[in-house]
Structure 1
Amino acid sequence: MTHEQVLDEFRAAGALLEGHFVLSSGLHSARYLQCARVLMDPARAARLCADLAARVKAGGHGQIDLVVSPAMGGVVVGYEMARQLGVPSIFFERVDGKLALRRGFNIEKGARVLMVEDIVTTGLSSRECIEGITEEGGVTVAAACLINRSGGKADVGVPLHALTSLDVPTYEADKLPPELAAIPAYKPGSRGMKK
Protein backbone atom coordinates (compact mmCIF):
# COMPACT_ATOMS: atom_id res chain seq x y z
CA MET A 1 0.00 0.00 0.00
CA THR A 2 1.15 3.51 -0.75
CA HIS A 3 1.13 6.36 1.77
CA GLU A 4 -2.06 7.78 0.22
CA GLN A 5 -3.79 4.38 0.15
CA VAL A 6 -3.12 3.95 3.88
CA LEU A 7 -4.43 7.44 4.65
CA ASP A 8 -7.47 6.77 2.43
CA GLU A 9 -8.29 3.75 4.61
CA PHE A 10 -8.12 6.00 7.70
CA ARG A 11 -10.22 8.71 6.04
CA ALA A 12 -12.84 6.17 4.88
CA ALA A 13 -13.15 4.91 8.46
CA GLY A 14 -13.45 8.43 9.92
CA ALA A 15 -10.21 7.72 11.77
CA LEU A 16 -8.13 10.74 10.69
CA LEU A 17 -9.36 13.65 12.81
CA GLU A 18 -8.39 17.31 12.80
CA GLY A 19 -8.81 19.81 15.63
CA HIS A 20 -7.00 20.17 18.97
CA PHE A 21 -6.20 16.91 20.75
CA VAL A 22 -4.37 15.92 23.93
CA LEU A 23 -2.49 12.69 23.22
CA SER A 24 -1.89 9.93 25.76
CA SER A 25 1.68 11.28 26.11
CA GLY A 26 0.19 14.59 27.35
CA LEU A 27 1.40 16.40 24.23
CA HIS A 28 -1.03 18.41 22.08
CA SER A 29 -1.62 17.94 18.36
CA ALA A 30 -3.79 19.27 15.52
CA ARG A 31 -4.30 15.74 14.11
CA TYR A 32 -5.42 12.53 15.76
CA LEU A 33 -5.49 9.02 14.35
CA GLN A 34 -8.28 6.95 15.89
CA CYS A 35 -7.06 3.43 15.12
CA ALA A 36 -10.00 1.81 16.88
CA ARG A 37 -12.21 3.13 14.07
CA VAL A 38 -9.94 1.87 11.29
CA LEU A 39 -9.70 -1.57 12.97
CA MET A 40 -13.42 -1.97 13.68
CA ASP A 41 -13.94 -3.27 10.13
CA PRO A 42 -12.37 -6.77 10.04
CA ALA A 43 -11.84 -6.63 6.27
CA ARG A 44 -10.02 -3.28 6.54
CA ALA A 45 -7.94 -4.51 9.49
CA ALA A 46 -7.00 -7.63 7.50
CA ARG A 47 -5.96 -5.54 4.45
CA LEU A 48 -3.81 -3.18 6.50
CA CYS A 49 -2.19 -5.90 8.59
CA ALA A 50 -1.54 -8.18 5.59
CA ASP A 51 0.52 -5.38 4.06
CA LEU A 52 2.29 -4.69 7.35
CA ALA A 53 3.00 -8.41 7.91
CA ALA A 54 4.53 -8.61 4.42
CA ARG A 55 6.82 -5.70 5.29
CA VAL A 56 7.89 -7.41 8.52
CA LYS A 57 8.58 -10.69 6.68
CA ALA A 58 10.63 -8.81 4.07
CA GLY A 59 12.66 -7.22 6.90
CA GLY A 60 14.81 -10.32 7.29
CA HIS A 61 14.21 -10.83 11.02
CA GLY A 62 13.91 -14.60 10.75
CA GLN A 63 11.41 -16.66 12.69
CA ILE A 64 8.82 -14.87 14.81
CA ASP A 65 7.33 -16.95 17.63
CA LEU A 66 4.97 -14.46 19.24
CA VAL A 67 3.36 -11.05 18.78
CA VAL A 68 3.22 -8.89 21.90
CA SER A 69 1.40 -5.57 22.22
CA PRO A 70 0.72 -2.96 24.89
CA ALA A 71 -2.94 -2.64 25.86
CA MET A 72 -5.20 -1.01 24.97
CA GLY A 73 -4.36 0.40 21.55
CA GLY A 74 -2.17 -2.49 20.43
CA VAL A 75 -4.54 -5.37 21.27
CA VAL A 76 -6.57 -5.54 18.04
CA VAL A 77 -3.71 -4.77 15.65
CA GLY A 78 -1.47 -7.20 17.57
CA TYR A 79 -4.07 -9.96 17.28
CA GLU A 80 -4.54 -9.36 13.55
CA MET A 81 -0.78 -9.24 12.93
CA ALA A 82 -0.39 -12.54 14.81
CA ARG A 83 -3.18 -14.05 12.71
CA GLN A 84 -1.46 -12.89 9.52
CA LEU A 85 1.87 -14.34 10.72
CA GLY A 86 0.37 -17.58 12.07
CA VAL A 87 1.64 -17.13 15.64
CA PRO A 88 0.02 -16.45 19.06
CA SER A 89 -0.71 -12.95 20.33
CA ILE A 90 -0.58 -11.66 23.91
CA PHE A 91 -0.61 -8.21 25.47
CA PHE A 92 0.79 -6.28 28.40
CA GLU A 93 -1.54 -4.23 30.63
CA ARG A 94 -0.69 -1.32 32.87
CA VAL A 95 -0.65 -2.38 36.53
CA ASP A 96 0.35 0.21 39.14
CA GLY A 97 1.87 2.36 36.38
CA LYS A 98 4.00 -0.43 34.85
CA LEU A 99 3.31 -2.77 31.95
CA ALA A 100 2.77 -6.34 33.12
CA LEU A 101 1.52 -9.64 31.76
CA ARG A 102 -1.75 -10.88 33.25
CA ARG A 103 -4.46 -13.40 32.30
CA GLY A 104 -2.00 -16.31 32.44
CA PHE A 105 0.08 -14.88 29.57
CA ASN A 106 3.77 -15.69 29.53
CA ILE A 107 6.73 -15.46 27.18
CA GLU A 108 8.94 -18.52 26.70
CA LYS A 109 12.60 -17.84 27.44
CA GLY A 110 14.34 -16.94 24.17
CA ALA A 111 11.07 -16.52 22.22
CA ARG A 112 11.53 -14.31 19.16
CA VAL A 113 8.96 -11.54 19.53
CA LEU A 114 7.43 -8.94 17.24
CA MET A 115 6.16 -5.98 19.28
CA VAL A 116 3.11 -4.40 17.63
CA GLU A 117 1.34 -1.09 18.32
CA ASP A 118 -1.32 0.85 16.47
CA ILE A 119 0.45 4.24 16.43
CA VAL A 120 3.96 5.25 17.46
CA THR A 121 4.31 8.90 18.46
CA THR A 122 7.23 9.23 20.88
CA GLY A 123 8.01 5.50 21.12
CA LEU A 124 7.65 5.51 24.91
CA SER A 125 5.01 2.77 25.21
CA SER A 126 6.85 0.70 22.58
CA ARG A 127 10.08 0.92 24.57
CA GLU A 128 8.19 0.05 27.78
CA CYS A 129 6.64 -2.98 26.09
CA ILE A 130 10.01 -4.10 24.69
CA GLU A 131 11.52 -3.72 28.17
CA GLY A 132 8.73 -5.94 29.54
CA ILE A 133 9.37 -8.54 26.82
CA THR A 134 13.07 -8.58 27.78
CA GLU A 135 12.26 -8.89 31.50
CA GLU A 136 10.02 -11.87 30.68
CA GLY A 137 12.85 -13.61 28.78
CA GLY A 138 11.80 -12.80 25.22
CA VAL A 139 13.93 -11.33 22.44
CA THR A 140 12.29 -8.50 20.49
CA VAL A 141 13.48 -8.90 16.90
CA ALA A 142 11.44 -6.02 15.47
CA ALA A 143 8.49 -3.71 16.06
CA ALA A 144 5.58 -2.76 13.82
CA CYS A 145 2.82 -0.19 13.79
CA LEU A 146 0.17 1.04 11.40
CA ILE A 147 1.37 4.65 11.49
CA ASN A 148 4.64 6.11 12.71
CA ARG A 149 3.49 9.63 13.50
CA SER A 150 6.93 10.74 14.62
CA GLY A 151 7.96 11.20 10.99
CA GLY A 152 10.44 8.37 11.51
CA LYS A 153 12.18 10.08 14.44
CA ALA A 154 10.99 7.76 17.25
CA ASP A 155 13.63 5.23 18.28
CA VAL A 156 12.16 2.11 19.87
CA GLY A 157 15.49 0.27 20.09
CA VAL A 158 14.73 -2.31 17.36
CA PRO A 159 13.85 -2.02 13.66
CA LEU A 160 10.39 -0.43 13.34
CA HIS A 161 8.12 -1.23 10.40
CA ALA A 162 5.15 1.03 9.64
CA LEU A 163 2.59 1.17 6.86
CA THR A 164 3.40 4.84 6.57
CA SER A 165 4.97 7.71 8.44
CA LEU A 166 3.49 11.10 9.22
CA ASP A 167 5.32 14.08 10.61
CA VAL A 168 2.60 15.50 12.85
CA PRO A 169 3.98 18.19 15.16
CA THR A 170 3.22 17.84 18.86
CA TYR A 171 3.43 20.55 21.48
CA GLU A 172 3.78 20.93 25.22
CA ALA A 173 0.65 22.44 26.80
CA ASP A 174 2.46 25.72 27.55
CA LYS A 175 4.00 26.00 24.05
CA LEU A 176 0.95 25.79 21.79
CA PRO A 177 0.90 27.75 18.53
CA PRO A 178 -1.81 30.46 18.60
CA GLU A 179 -4.08 28.68 16.09
CA LEU A 180 -4.15 25.56 18.29
CA ALA A 181 -4.50 27.48 21.55
CA ALA A 182 -7.60 29.17 20.10
CA ILE A 183 -9.54 25.86 19.85
CA PRO A 184 -10.80 23.75 22.78
CA ALA A 185 -8.65 20.69 23.48
CA TYR A 186 -10.17 17.21 23.43
CA LYS A 187 -8.70 14.04 24.83
CA PRO A 188 -9.79 11.08 22.70
CA GLY A 189 -10.16 7.84 24.55
CA SER A 190 -12.16 4.73 25.18
CA ARG A 191 -14.99 6.72 26.78
CA GLY A 192 -15.33 9.17 23.91
CA MET A 193 -14.02 12.61 23.26
CA LYS A 194 -13.52 14.62 26.44
CA LYS A 195 -12.66 18.24 27.05
Structure 2
Amino acid sequence: MTNEEALAEIREAGGFYNGHFILKTGRHCPTFLQKTFIFTDPIRTERLCIALASKIISRYGRIDCIVSPALGGIIPGYEVARVLNAKFIFLEKENGELCLRRGFHIPIHAKVLLVEDVIYSGQSSRESLKMLYKERANVVGAACLIDRSGGTVDIGAPLVSLASFYIPDYSPDEIPPELAEIPPVTPGSRGIVKTSSDSGKAANA
Protein backbone atom coordinates (compact mmCIF):
# COMPACT_ATOMS: atom_id res chain seq x y z
CA MET A 1 0.00 0.00 0.00
CA THR A 2 1.44 3.37 -1.02
CA ASN A 3 1.39 6.50 1.09
CA GLU A 4 -1.32 7.97 -1.16
CA GLU A 5 -3.45 4.83 -0.91
CA ALA A 6 -3.18 4.85 2.88
CA LEU A 7 -4.18 8.52 3.02
CA ALA A 8 -7.15 7.74 0.77
CA GLU A 9 -8.28 5.11 3.26
CA ILE A 10 -8.13 7.68 6.05
CA ARG A 11 -10.13 10.17 3.98
CA GLU A 12 -12.76 7.56 3.19
CA ALA A 13 -13.04 6.73 6.88
CA GLY A 14 -13.98 10.38 7.53
CA GLY A 15 -10.95 10.95 9.71
CA PHE A 16 -9.98 14.44 8.53
CA TYR A 17 -11.70 17.64 9.66
CA ASN A 18 -10.93 21.14 8.46
CA GLY A 19 -11.58 24.17 10.67
CA HIS A 20 -9.75 25.72 13.61
CA PHE A 21 -8.64 23.31 16.31
CA ILE A 22 -6.74 23.64 19.58
CA LEU A 23 -4.53 20.61 20.20
CA LYS A 24 -3.63 19.10 23.58
CA THR A 25 -0.33 20.97 23.36
CA GLY A 26 -2.19 24.30 23.19
CA ARG A 27 -1.12 24.87 19.61
CA HIS A 28 -3.63 25.69 16.87
CA CYS A 29 -4.05 23.91 13.54
CA PRO A 30 -6.39 24.02 10.50
CA THR A 31 -6.90 20.26 10.28
CA PHE A 32 -7.67 17.62 12.89
CA LEU A 33 -7.26 13.89 12.48
CA GLN A 34 -9.98 11.94 14.30
CA LYS A 35 -8.09 8.67 14.26
CA THR A 36 -10.78 6.65 16.02
CA PHE A 37 -12.98 6.80 12.92
CA ILE A 38 -10.48 4.55 11.17
CA PHE A 39 -11.06 1.82 13.74
CA THR A 40 -14.86 1.83 13.49
CA ASP A 41 -14.46 -0.32 10.37
CA PRO A 42 -12.79 -3.65 11.27
CA ILE A 43 -12.21 -4.55 7.61
CA ARG A 44 -10.46 -1.25 6.88
CA THR A 45 -8.45 -1.57 10.11
CA GLU A 46 -7.33 -5.06 9.16
CA ARG A 47 -6.36 -3.91 5.66
CA LEU A 48 -4.26 -1.03 6.99
CA CYS A 49 -2.58 -3.14 9.65
CA ILE A 50 -1.71 -5.87 7.14
CA ALA A 51 -0.05 -3.20 5.00
CA LEU A 52 1.84 -1.83 7.99
CA ALA A 53 2.94 -5.34 8.99
CA SER A 54 4.39 -5.80 5.51
CA LYS A 55 6.49 -2.65 5.94
CA ILE A 56 7.57 -3.82 9.37
CA ILE A 57 8.82 -7.15 8.04
CA SER A 58 10.72 -5.40 5.23
CA ARG A 59 12.42 -3.04 7.69
CA TYR A 60 12.94 -5.13 10.83
CA GLY A 61 12.44 -8.78 9.87
CA ARG A 62 10.79 -11.14 12.32
CA ILE A 63 9.22 -9.56 15.42
CA ASP A 64 8.52 -11.53 18.59
CA CYS A 65 6.63 -9.02 20.69
CA ILE A 66 4.54 -5.94 19.92
CA VAL A 67 4.10 -3.32 22.63
CA SER A 68 1.65 -0.42 22.42
CA PRO A 69 0.62 2.38 24.80
CA ALA A 70 -2.99 2.40 25.94
CA LEU A 71 -5.45 3.48 24.85
CA GLY A 72 -4.91 4.56 21.27
CA GLY A 73 -2.25 2.02 20.35
CA ILE A 74 -4.12 -1.08 21.48
CA ILE A 75 -6.18 -1.75 18.34
CA PRO A 76 -3.42 -1.30 15.73
CA GLY A 77 -0.89 -2.98 18.02
CA TYR A 78 -3.07 -6.05 18.45
CA GLU A 79 -3.91 -6.25 14.74
CA VAL A 80 -0.28 -5.97 13.69
CA ALA A 81 0.73 -8.58 16.27
CA ARG A 82 -1.96 -10.91 14.93
CA VAL A 83 -0.63 -10.54 11.38
CA LEU A 84 2.96 -11.08 12.51
CA ASN A 85 2.03 -13.97 14.84
CA ALA A 86 3.73 -12.05 17.66
CA LYS A 87 2.95 -11.66 21.34
CA PHE A 88 1.04 -8.47 22.18
CA ILE A 89 1.10 -6.46 25.40
CA PHE A 90 0.23 -2.87 26.22
CA LEU A 91 1.44 -0.15 28.55
CA GLU A 92 -0.76 1.81 30.96
CA LYS A 93 -0.30 4.89 33.09
CA GLU A 94 0.39 4.46 36.79
CA ASN A 95 1.26 7.47 38.92
CA GLY A 96 1.58 9.47 35.73
CA GLU A 97 4.07 7.14 34.04
CA LEU A 98 3.67 4.36 31.48
CA CYS A 99 4.40 0.92 32.83
CA LEU A 100 3.63 -2.78 32.50
CA ARG A 101 0.61 -3.85 34.54
CA ARG A 102 -1.73 -6.87 34.76
CA GLY A 103 1.22 -9.24 35.08
CA PHE A 104 2.53 -8.43 31.60
CA HIS A 105 6.18 -9.15 30.98
CA ILE A 106 8.52 -8.96 28.00
CA PRO A 107 10.05 -12.31 27.00
CA ILE A 108 13.81 -12.49 27.41
CA HIS A 109 15.75 -11.97 24.14
CA ALA A 110 12.51 -11.21 22.25
CA LYS A 111 12.71 -8.74 19.36
CA VAL A 112 10.37 -6.00 20.53
CA LEU A 113 8.61 -3.40 18.38
CA LEU A 114 6.65 -0.41 19.62
CA VAL A 115 3.45 0.13 17.60
CA GLU A 116 1.33 3.29 17.78
CA ASP A 117 -1.71 4.58 15.94
CA VAL A 118 -0.63 8.18 15.27
CA ILE A 119 2.68 9.89 16.01
CA TYR A 120 3.05 13.65 15.93
CA SER A 121 5.14 15.17 18.71
CA GLY A 122 6.52 11.74 19.62
CA GLN A 123 6.05 12.25 23.36
CA SER A 124 4.07 9.04 23.92
CA SER A 125 6.58 7.05 21.89
CA ARG A 126 9.55 8.46 23.78
CA GLU A 127 7.87 7.69 27.11
CA SER A 128 7.07 4.16 25.95
CA LEU A 129 10.60 3.53 24.72
CA LYS A 130 12.06 4.89 27.95
CA MET A 131 10.02 2.35 29.88
CA LEU A 132 10.99 -0.50 27.54
CA TYR A 133 14.68 0.34 27.80
CA LYS A 134 14.29 0.42 31.57
CA GLU A 135 12.95 -3.14 31.32
CA ARG A 136 16.04 -4.05 29.25
CA ALA A 137 13.86 -4.98 26.30
CA ASN A 138 15.51 -5.70 22.96
CA VAL A 139 13.75 -2.89 21.10
CA VAL A 140 14.42 -2.94 17.36
CA GLY A 141 12.36 0.15 16.54
CA ALA A 142 8.85 1.51 16.24
CA ALA A 143 6.01 1.65 13.74
CA CYS A 144 2.79 3.62 13.36
CA LEU A 145 -0.17 3.80 11.06
CA ILE A 146 0.11 7.56 10.67
CA ASP A 147 3.11 9.87 11.06
CA ARG A 148 1.56 13.32 11.30
CA SER A 149 4.95 15.01 11.45
CA GLY A 150 5.69 14.23 7.81
CA GLY A 151 8.77 12.26 8.78
CA THR A 152 10.37 14.98 10.90
CA VAL A 153 9.73 13.57 14.39
CA ASP A 154 12.60 12.01 16.35
CA ILE A 155 11.44 9.44 18.90
CA GLY A 156 14.90 8.08 19.63
CA ALA A 157 14.48 4.89 17.59
CA PRO A 158 13.96 3.88 13.94
CA LEU A 159 10.39 4.49 12.81
CA VAL A 160 8.28 2.97 10.03
CA SER A 161 4.93 4.53 9.11
CA LEU A 162 2.18 3.45 6.75
CA ALA A 163 1.00 7.00 6.00
CA SER A 164 3.02 10.17 6.46
CA PHE A 165 1.88 13.76 6.02
CA TYR A 166 2.41 17.16 7.58
CA ILE A 167 -0.19 19.52 9.04
CA PRO A 168 1.09 22.94 10.16
CA ASP A 169 0.32 24.12 13.66
CA TYR A 170 0.82 27.45 15.37
CA SER A 171 1.38 28.91 18.80
CA PRO A 172 -1.45 31.16 20.05
CA ASP A 173 0.54 34.30 19.15
CA GLU A 174 1.33 33.27 15.57
CA ILE A 175 -2.07 32.14 14.24
CA PRO A 176 -2.55 33.17 10.57
CA PRO A 177 -5.36 35.73 10.02
CA GLU A 178 -7.45 33.34 7.92
CA LEU A 179 -7.34 30.75 10.71
CA ALA A 180 -8.02 33.31 13.45
CA GLU A 181 -11.29 34.22 11.73
CA ILE A 182 -12.67 30.72 12.43
CA PRO A 183 -14.00 30.06 15.97
CA PRO A 184 -11.69 27.45 17.56
CA VAL A 185 -12.85 24.12 18.98
CA THR A 186 -11.03 21.60 21.15
CA PRO A 187 -11.41 18.11 19.66
CA GLY A 188 -10.16 14.80 20.95
CA SER A 189 -11.49 11.82 22.85
CA ARG A 190 -14.30 13.92 24.33
CA GLY A 191 -15.75 14.62 20.93
CA ILE A 192 -15.30 16.41 17.63
CA VAL A 193 -17.20 19.47 16.55
CA LYS A 194 -18.03 19.27 12.87
CA THR A 195 -17.49 22.55 11.07
CA SER A 196 -20.42 22.80 8.65
CA SER A 197 -19.46 22.06 5.03
CA ASP A 198 -15.80 21.47 5.93
CA SER A 199 -16.56 18.41 8.10
CA GLY A 200 -14.93 15.26 6.86
CA LYS A 201 -12.96 16.95 4.08
CA ALA A 202 -9.51 15.53 3.61
CA ALA A 203 -6.42 17.44 4.51
CA ASN A 204 -4.00 18.40 1.79
CA ALA A 205 -1.23 15.92 2.27
Tell me the TM-score normalized by structure 2.
Answer: 0.87
CA distance, structure 1, for counterparts of residue 171 and residue 110 of structure 2: 38
Cα 1:184/1:72, change in 2 over 3 Å? farther
SS at match of 2:173: helix
Is the Cα–Cα contact under 8 Å of residues 148 and 165 in structure 1 kept in the other structure? yes
1:36 alignment partner in structure 2: 36
Give, in angstroms, the shift of residue 24 of structure 1. 3.2
1:139 CA displacement: 1.9
| 2: CA distance, partners of 1:27 / 1:106 | 37
**Mapped partners of 1:67, 1:27: distance in 2:** 31
Residue of structure 2 in register with 1:88 after alignment: 87
Unaligned runs of 5+ in 2: 194-205
In structure 2, the residue corresponding to 1:171 is in which secondary structure? coil
Q: 1:189 Cα shift?
A: 2.4
CA distance in structure 1 between the partners assigned to 2:163 and 2:31 by the alignment: 15
Q: Which runs of 5+ in 1 are unaligned?
A: none
Residue 77 (structure 1) shift: 0.8
CA distance in 2, matches of 1:124, 1:65: 24
TM-score (norm 1): 0.91
SS of the counterpart of 1:173?
A: coil
Alignment map for 1:2-13 (pairs within 5 Å): 2-13=2-13
Task: List structure 1 runs of 4+ shifted beyond 6 angstroms.
Answer: none
Higher relative contact order (CA 8 A, sep 6+): 2
Aligned counterparts of 1:126 and 1:58: Cα–Cα separation in 2: 21
Q: Is the CA contact (8 Å cut-off) linking 1:92 and 1:100 kept in structure 2?
A: yes
Pair 1:140 & 2:139 matched: yes
Range 109-118 or range 180-189, more displaced: 180-189
Q: What is the correspondence of 1:39-188 to structure 2 with a 5 Å cutoff?
A: 39-59=39-59, 61-188=60-187
Instruction: Work out the number of aligned pairs and report it.
Output: 193
CA offset at residue 174 of structure 1? 3.0
Displacement of 1:30: 1.3
Q: Deviation per CA, 1:92-125, whole angstroms, max 9, x where unpaired?
A: 1222221122222222343321101111111111
| Conservation of the 8 A alpha-carbon contact between 1:108 and 1:137 | no
Matched, 1:25 2:25: yes
- The structure that has the greater radius of gyration is 2
> Which residue identity does 1:118 align to in structure 2?
D
SS at match of 1:125: helix
Q: CA deviation at 1:52?
A: 0.6
What does the per-residue CA deviation read over 1:22-43, in whole Å, with 9 as the maximum and x for residues that have no partner? 2333332211222211112111
RMSD: 1.7
Q: Matched residue of 1:91: which SS?
A: strand
Following superposition, the deviation at residue 154 of structure 1 comes to: 0.3
Any conservation in 2 of the 1:111–1:137 contact (CA below 8 Å)? no
